[in-house]
């Protein structure tokens, strides 16, 4: 803590470098900068206390400073133990008008290379706003990526109501054990915290496919404690960030981690959804021969039409030089798959959670050893002497081994996030305990800002044409069922 500002980052002296990159990023983020211009006088987020859990990168710093410019009080953590850019975290704490000795920015709890207990400690700290002695203050808005904060609050409320946190089970993952430990500690030292802050939360805006899936499951079970906006399924999010963002950052991660030539090699991509499509295109762009594994015949057919081979992982595993998981599903690459891989094959995941690859099983294989080549790059050697290279310990490699998506594509995603925060915060009474998407005219607005920034010229519908196809001259131009 310095003055009134509490935080924990790796090194505050990195703030100057962070600020330089934030300034460069602002120019590449026209969506966020337009919203700042449009709303900074109106201050629509005045009174909002936003708890954010999303990769603490340079681009996220521009998002945070946009939320602050619109009136919000913000506290932040990363949603992944490896994804923080320490200079961005430092600059966000210092803020545009502060100094290292007198930071005036935002409370950030994030650094690259957190342990799991540290990660969950940070998340818990982020939820505790400074309050007068004897009082408690939590957030009234959540901005989530992957749903960890939403899950923590729901579980916290559930176990506090029950008066007990269940004992850790042998079948629990290491991470789940850590979450239960944290809640047990909270119940012992600050009982009732989660049940006090939970009901005051007006809503959550969720960034990614995996987090959205968790929200729909909570809503279907009737357990959602506050309304949610699914930002991921704005077209200007998933059809751009997930696809073109990964097209950029997947090979960035592979190259920074390994510098192994991709051209001419065989790449196996599990999943041909939005992320898989971008990943496959970037690998092919480097000259790789790409094989897709899919469970959905529609996506498999798309892959074939796009010119890729479609095969099962079992069929393709022993011929692949790069194996990338993009499914958002679990148990995709098993230890048997790993043992069947080529010598020194590169294995990585770009889906949200690390359960796509059986890392726990790998560590338990008899005679296996792990050698750190550099942080987030490990050479695993099996008992028979064969090795594989695993990136970011099975966590999303584009943020662990590189710096995630570039600013321009994140501008579209984060413009949706900002609009969704304004929407839920200012119109809280219009939303039930369900999961909503933003209306199409806002999606089109975000797209238009970025078209113009790229120098595109829009064709205008005539009144007669608009009538003929049954839309308004000013949009929206497509029905909700249109798939792009």
Specify whether the CB–CB gap between 130 and 138 falls below 8 A: no
Token couple for 43: 């201050």
| Window 380 to 399, contacts with ligand NAI (CB under 6 A) | 396, 398
272 labeled part of a ligand binding site = yes
398 labeled part of a ligand binding site = yes
Calculate the CA dihedral of residues 440, 444, 446, 449 and round it to 10 degrees. Answer: -170
Q: Cα–chain-centroid distance for residue 298?
A: 26
Name the one residue in this structure whose structure tokens are 């004992």: 167
Q: Is 154 a catalytic residue?
A: no
> How are the residues of the chain apportioned to helix, strand and coil, as percentages rounded to the nearest 5?
45, 15, 40
Question: DSSP letter string over 401-456?
Answer: TS--S-HHHHHHHHHHHHHHHHHHHHSGGG--SSEE---HHHHHHHHHHHHHHTT-
Q: Is 481 a catalytic residue?
A: no
Catalytic residue among 413, 421, 443, 445: 413
278 labeled part of a ligand binding site = yes
Nearest to 79 by CA among 206, 197, 218: 206
How far apart (Å, rounded) are the C-alpha atoms in residues 187 and 164?
Answer: 8
Given the complex with ligand NAI, which of 237 and 265 has the nearer CB atom? 237
Q: Is 83 a catalytic residue?
A: yes
Per CB under 6 A, does 248 bind ligand NAI?
no
Closest CB to ligand NAI: residue number: 273
Specify whether the CB–CB gap between 34 and 66 falls below 8 A: no
Per CB under 6 A, does 299 bind ligand NAI?
yes
Q: Is 405 a catalytic residue?
A: yes
Specify whether the CB–CB gap between 66 and 32 falls below 8 A: yes
Number of residues that bind ligand NAI (CB under 6 A): 31
Name the one residue in this structure whose structure tokens are 């961005």: 88
Per CB under 6 A, does 279 bind ligand NAI?
no
How far apart (Å, rounded) are the C-alpha atoms in residues 45 and 74?
Answer: 10
Angle at 448 between CA 446 and CA 449, to 5 degrees: 70
Specify whether the CB–CB gap between 57 and 403 falls below 8 A: yes
Q: Is 242 a catalytic residue?
A: yes
Segment lying near ligand NAI (by CB under 6 A), choices 10-18, 191-199, 239-247, 314-322: 239-247
Q: Is 413 a catalytic residue?
A: yes
Q: Is 161 a catalytic residue?
A: no
Given the complex with ligand NAI, which of 31 and 351 has the nearer CB atom? 351
State the binding string over 333-352 for ligand NAI (x if CB under 6 A, else -).
-----------------xxx
CB 414 to ligand NAI: min, Å: 13
CB 213 to ligand NAI: min, Å: 8
CB 398 to ligand NAI: min, Å: 5
Catalytic residue among 337, 352, 378, 445: 352
Q: Is 450 a catalytic residue?
A: no
Given the complex with ligand NAI, which of 29 and 69 has the nearer CB atom? 29
How far apart (Å, rounded) are the C-alpha atoms in residues 428 and 130?
Answer: 24
CB 411 to ligand NAI: min, Å: 15
Nearest to 454 by CA among 262, 240, 256: 240
Per CB under 6 A, does 209 bind ligand NAI?
yes
Pick the binder of ligand NAI from 131, 261, 295, 383 (CB under 6 A): 295
**3-state secondary structure at position 233:** coil
Given the complex with ligand NAI, which of 247 and 450 has the nearer CB atom? 247
Cα dist from 230 to 29, 59, 70, 210, 264, whole Å:
21, 20, 21, 11, 39
Pick the binder of ligand NAI from 15, 58, 224, 293 (CB under 6 A): 293
Segment lying near ligand NAI (by CB under 6 A), choices 70-78, 104-112, 292-300, 464-472: 292-300
Q: Is 55 a catalytic residue?
A: yes
Residue positions annotated with a catalytic role: 55, 78, 83, 145, 207, 232, 237, 241-242, 246, 352, 405, 413, 417
Annotated binding-site members: 57, 145, 207-210, 237, 241-242, 271-278, 294, 329, 350-352, 398, 405
Residues of this chain that interact with ligand NAI (CB under 6 A) are 208-210, 238, 241-242, 245-246, 270-276, 293-296, 299, 326-329, 332, 350-352, 396, 398, 405
Annotated binding-site members for substrate: 57, 145, 207, 237, 241
């Amino acid at each position: 803590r310095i003055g009134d500002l509490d935080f924990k980052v790796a090194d505050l002296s990195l703030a100057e470098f962070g600020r330089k990159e934030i300034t460069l990023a602002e120019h590449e983020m026209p969506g966020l900068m337009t919203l700042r211009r449009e709303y900074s006088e109106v201050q629509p987020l005045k009174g909002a206390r936003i708890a954010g859990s999303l990769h603490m990168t340079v681009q996220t710093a521009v998002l945070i400073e946009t939320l602050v410019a619109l009136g919000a009080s913000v506290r932040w953590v990363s949603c992944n133990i490896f994804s923080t850019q320490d200079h961005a975290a430092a600059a966000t704490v210092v803020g545009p008008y502060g100094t290292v000795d007198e930071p005036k920015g935002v409370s950030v709890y994030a650094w690259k290379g957190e342990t799991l207990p540290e990660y969950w400690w940070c998340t818990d700290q982020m939820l505790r706003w400074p309050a007068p002695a004897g009082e408690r203050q939590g957030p009234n808005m959540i901005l989530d990526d992957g749903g960890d904060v939403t899950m923590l609050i729901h579980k916290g409320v559930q176990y506090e109501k029950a008066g007990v946190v269940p004992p850790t089970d042998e079948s629990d993952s290491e991470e789940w054990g850590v979450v239960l430990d944290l809640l047990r500690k909270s119940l012992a030292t600050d009982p009732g915290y989660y049940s006090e802050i939970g009901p005051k939360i007006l809503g959550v805006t969720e960034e990614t496919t995996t987090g959205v899936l968790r929200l729909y499951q909570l809503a279907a079970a009737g357990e959602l404690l506050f309304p949610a906006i699914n930002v991921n399924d704005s077209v200007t999010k998933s059809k751009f960030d997930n696809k073109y963002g990964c097209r950029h950052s997947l090979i960035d991660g592979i190259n920074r981690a390994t510098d192994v030539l991709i051209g001419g090699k065989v790449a196996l991509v599990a999943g041909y959804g939005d992320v898989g499509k971008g990943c496959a295109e970037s690998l092919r762009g480097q000259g790789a021969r790409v094989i897709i594994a899919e469970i959905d015949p529609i996506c498999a057919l798309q892959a074939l039409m796009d010119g890729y081979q479609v095969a099962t992982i079992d069929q393709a595993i022993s011929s692949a030089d790069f194996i990338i998981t993009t499914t958002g599903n679990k148990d995709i690459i098993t230890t048997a798959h790993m043992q069947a891989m080529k010598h020194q094959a590169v294995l990585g995941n770009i889906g949200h959670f690390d359960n796509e690859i059986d890392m726990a099983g790998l560590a338990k294989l008899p005679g296996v050893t792990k050698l750190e080549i550099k942080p987030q790059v490990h050479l695993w050697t099996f008992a028979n002497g064969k090795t594989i290279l695993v990136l970011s310990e099975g966590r999303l490699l584009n943020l662990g081994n590189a710096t995630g998506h570039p600013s321009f594509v994140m501008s579209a995603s984060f413009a949706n996030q900002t609009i969704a925060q304004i929407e839920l915060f200012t119109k809280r009474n219009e939303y039930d305990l369900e999961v909503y998407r933003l209306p199409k005219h806002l999606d089109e607005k975000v797209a238009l800002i970025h078209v113009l920034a790229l120098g595109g010229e829009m064709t205008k519908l005539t009144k007669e044409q608009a009538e003929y196809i049954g839309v308004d001259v000013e949009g929206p131009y497509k029905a909700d069922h249109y798939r792009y």
